[in-house]
Each structure stands twice: as C-alpha cells, then as structure tokens.
Amino acid sequence: MNAWLEAPRSWLDSFGEIGRFGLRVAGNVYSGRVFKFFGESLRQAGILIFGSALVIWAFVFILGLQCGLQGAYFNRSIGAPSLAGLFSAYCDLREGLPYAFGYILSAKVGTGIVAEIGAMRISDEIDALEVMGIQPITFLCATRLLGAWIAIPFLYLVGIGLIYAASYLSVVQQVGDVSSGGYLLIFWMYQSPPDLIFSLIKGMVMATVIVLVGCYYGYTASGGPVGVGTATAKSMVFNIVAVHILGMLGTVIFWGANPRAPIGG
Amino acid sequence: MAQSGALSRGWGMVSGLFTEVGTMMILTVRTLISAVRSPHPYGEELVWQFLFVLRLSWFPLLVSTFALNLGAPGLQAAGILSLFGALDRLGGFFVVIAIRWIGPLVTAVVVAGVAGTAITADLGARKIREELDALQVLGVDPIKNLVVPRFLALMVVTALLDIFAIIMGLSAGIAAELLYHQPLGGFFATLFTNATITDLWSSVLMCTMFGAIVAVVCSYKGMSASGGAAGVGRAVNQAVVISLVAVFFFQFVVSSVILATNPELQAVR
C-alpha cells in the first residue's frame, strides 16, 4: 500500500522545499542583486530563444491545428458549423496556448535546466562558485529566471499568432464548413484585449513555476550521473501536475465568474 | 563563408533528424520482432514494469485530468452555455473533449512525463555504468530483456489509464454542472446521445499507439545516452521533448482521419 502512495507523498514533501527555494530565487531578482550578472541573464535569454523557440512554436502550431479540427467537427455535430470560430477563439487563446506552453516549457526548458545545473552540482562546480565568492543561487538560478522573464513574453506573443494561423488552416482549409470571412467574424468577436493579457499572465505564471522547479531539482541533485537523470525525471512529474493545477486556477480566477462573451445585455 | 557555415549547420540538423528518426524506426521493428519471436523471457519484467508505471502515474494522471477538464472545457463551456441557457448541452461537448481529445492527450503527456522520463533515466544510468555492454557480453539481448517488456507494458498501461482519464474527465464535467447548480439529467442525456462506440475504441486505440511511441523514444534515448554527468539528464530532456511532439503530431493525424472517415461522428443530434 505504501508504495502506491509514494508519488503523492513525495510530491507534498517537496512542495514546501520548492516554495522556499523559489521565494529565495525570486527575492534575488526583485532585490536587484541579479543585475550584477545582467550579461549572464541576457545570455540565458538568448539560449532560451535560440535553443527552444522552434520546438515551442512547432508544438503550439500542432495544438492549434488540433483545436480547429475538434472545434470544426464539434460544431458540425451540433448543427452550427458557422460557429467554429467560437470554439477556436476560446480554445486557442484562453486554454490551448497556456497549456501548450506549460507542457513544452516543462519538457524542454525545465528538464534542460535540471540537466545543466544538476551536472554542475555533480561535478562540484557549484561549490567552486561559492569558494570564488559568487552566490551560486544568484548566478545560476536568478539569472535564468530573469532570462525567462525577458524572453518568454515575446515567444508567447509569436505563439498566439501561430496558433491562430493553425486554427484558421484546419477550420477553413482542411474541414472547410465555413467561409474565411464567416470564420474570422465569429473568431474576432469572441475575444478582447483583456483576454490576451489574462492568457499571457497564465502562461507567465506557469513559466515562472517551471523555471523555479527546474532550478530546485538541479540545485539539489545528488548521487552521481544517475542522480541527475532521476532529478530530471522528478522535475517533469512535478511540473506536469503544477501546470494543470495552475491552468485550472487561472481559468477560475479570470473567466470563472464572467465568461466575457458578447452575448445578451 | 558565414553563409556556407549556416548552410552546412542547417544540413547537419536536417540529416541528424532523419538519422534519429530512422534509428528509432529500426528500434521499433527490432522490438516488434523480438517481442513475437520465441523465447519469451520477459514475462516477469513485464509485470514488474506494468506495476511500476501504474504506481508512478496514477496520482498525477487523476489530478491532471480532473484539473484540466474542470478548467478548460468545464468552466469555459459552462460559462458560455449558461448565457444561452443550454447547460444540458455540456454532456455532448464532453464527448468531444474528454473522450476524443483531452483523455488520450493528457494520458500521453502524463505517461511521457512520468513513466517515460523514469524509463530513460533508468536505461541511461545502465548505459553510463556500462551495464548494457555487460549484458551483451553475457549473451543477454538488451532489446528482448529490457525494451520489449517496457514497450508492451506502456502500451497496455496507457490504454488502461485512458479509461481512468475519461472517467475523471466526465466527473470534472459533472462537477462543472454542479457548480452551476444544474440537475444532472440533461448532462447525461446529451452525453449518451452524442457518444458513439467509435469514440471509445478510437480513443483507447490511439492511446495504445501513444504508449508505443513514448516507449520507443524513451528507450532509444536512454540506451544511447552518453557524455558523463550531464548525459543522462540531457537524454531525459530530449526524450520527453521528442515524445511530446511526436504524440501531438500523431494525434492530429489520427483524429483527422477518424473524424473525416466516420460519418456517424458528424451526425447532428
């Protein structure tokens, strides 16, 4: 019986530790201590863009295609194919894009950070940094968090463009129940600039949590090369559950009480 | 000069991608052949892997599917349907979301993230410690004894977990209805008129394929890990990225085909 409860128990166990560590890193950014290493932050932002942008956008594009496809067929089955834009607008901006970002950031960026920082921990480079008088948390973790905050909003906005294009392709070109103008009329009617801001906030909160979790598991890795692999796997488990719970909370907070749709008075 | 450098780097990336995909295909075929051809020494390991994956994934899966289905389709759709006064239609909507799309998708994401990473970390550790070479010297085939049981176990577990994902997804739909103080009769009525058996078998079959993809990608990446301390971590990173992208792409293709070729899924009800 105990073995079956292992996953939830270890998850709860590490939750408090990650919270404390995350607050320490975020404190390093907010107090401005990270700006001593601003160049390193920019370098991390550059690595994020050059190393991960294409994968992130490809993933977002596929999810957009899927959003449009399912929406088009669902609207056909309720007898309102011209309203496919409603489904895509909600699916793309409000839910699909934050989740796509959450999944692929935890897979690409989160585990990447664990592998990198964990390798440094195993080969005692972090201790060496400390001996040299450089705060390792500031230099390794806070710079990555600041780098993510610099780069990810722009990746996210480009992702919005891509996911819209993908949904358009699959609804109008692939399924083809609705004309281009008819689709776009409904599509633009059912979203507004505040929705974009809310969606961006959702995505950024997920990205912040993912980077902090990655830094935590990398920073506390132990047990040789095998330990790095195990820590990477553990960070992925934590991130997946965190992404889903944050996504649900975001929906409840931003759209739970008011669906923000142009219907009725 | 700079341009030719960029060109050759681009060509290197493309040919590297093809090499990688080709090697994974070869691994898939070799796994399939050695799964069928006797002797079958992997029975015990298969059961062990099955329980291992189930033990790791059940909790993340239940939490994730419930949260995702309550937030994304549940509250968003219930919000807009309540404006129309048609909250009973949520049941028909959940057939699309929970059975056709999100159930298999979240199952695949959780299995790739939880079990796939564990498989890569495990096999990568054995590779780094040169245990795989030692096995081969002893005359034990690593594919038959290590990859095949994981492959079969993941296929079965993913299909099984898909059922649980659908159950949790529908419970999240019920929770959304209850949050809007609706009687549940309308939800179940539209759910059962819209659901078809095609939805269910295609969802489960899709999930079996997802399990196979995740198992092959993660075993391949684990068995080809190299490069010291950072190697295993990097292998896990690449394995989970490749499996997620492959699964999403595969799901798009499969659901396009299934939706387009089965007219009973598109009938107006």
**pLDDT of A9:** 77
CA distance B248 to B251: 5
pLDDT at A216 over 90: yes
| Rounded average pLDDT over A145-152 | 94
**pLDDT of B4:** 67
Nearest to B222 by CA among B107, B139, B141, B129: B129
Say whether residue B237 is in contact with chain A using an 8 A CB cutoff: yes
Backbone angles phi, psi at B72, to 5 degrees: -65, -65
CA distance A250 to B72: 10
Task: Read off the pLDDT of residues A32-91 as tens digits, 9 standing for 90 and up.
Answer: 888 889 999 999 999 999 989 999 999 999 999 999 999 999 988 888 888 889 999 999
Confidence at A251, pLDDT banded by 50, 70, 90: very high
Q: For the CA atoms of B81, B163, A105, B19, what is the dihedral angle to 10 degrees? A: -130
Count helices and strands in chain B by DSSP H and E runs: 12, 0
pTM above 0.80, yes or no: yes
| Rounded average pLDDT over A114-141 | 92
Say whether residue A65 is in contact with chain B using an 8 A CB cutoff: yes
Confidence at B1, pLDDT banded by 50, 70, 90: very low
**pLDDT of A129:** 93
- What ipTM did this prediction achieve? 0.90
In terms of pLDDT, which residue wins out, B32 or A256?
B32
Contact residues, A window 203-222, toward B, CB-based 8 Å cutoff:
none
Q: Which of left, alpha, beta for B181 (phi over 0: left; psi -120 to 50: alpha)? A: left
Contact residues, A window 116-135, toward B, CB-based 8 Å cutoff:
116, 118-119, 122-123
The whole-angstrom distance between B21's CA and the closest CA on chain A is 16
pLDDT at A265 over 70: no
Mutation to test the B interface, candidates A75, A202, A237, A260, most B Cβ within 10 Å: A237
In terms of pLDDT, which residue wins out, B1 or A125?
A125
Say whether residue B193 is in contact with chain A using an 8 A CB cutoff: no
One DSSP character per residue, B81-132 reads HHHHT-GGGHHHHHIIIIIIIIHHHHHHHHIIIIIIHHHHHHHHHHHHTTHH
Q: Mean of the per-residue pLDDT values for chain A?
A: 90
Say whether residue B92 is in contact with chain A using an 8 A CB cutoff: yes
| Rounded average pLDDT over A105-118 | 92
Task: Read off the pLDDT of residues B181-203 as tens digits, 9 standing for 90 and up.
Answer: 988 999 999 999 888 899 999 99
Residues of chain A positioned with their CB less than 8 A from the CB of B58: 4, 7
| Rounded average pLDDT over B5-19 | 83
> For residues A162 and A57, is the Cβ–Cβ distance under 8 A?
yes
pLDDT at B239 over 70: yes
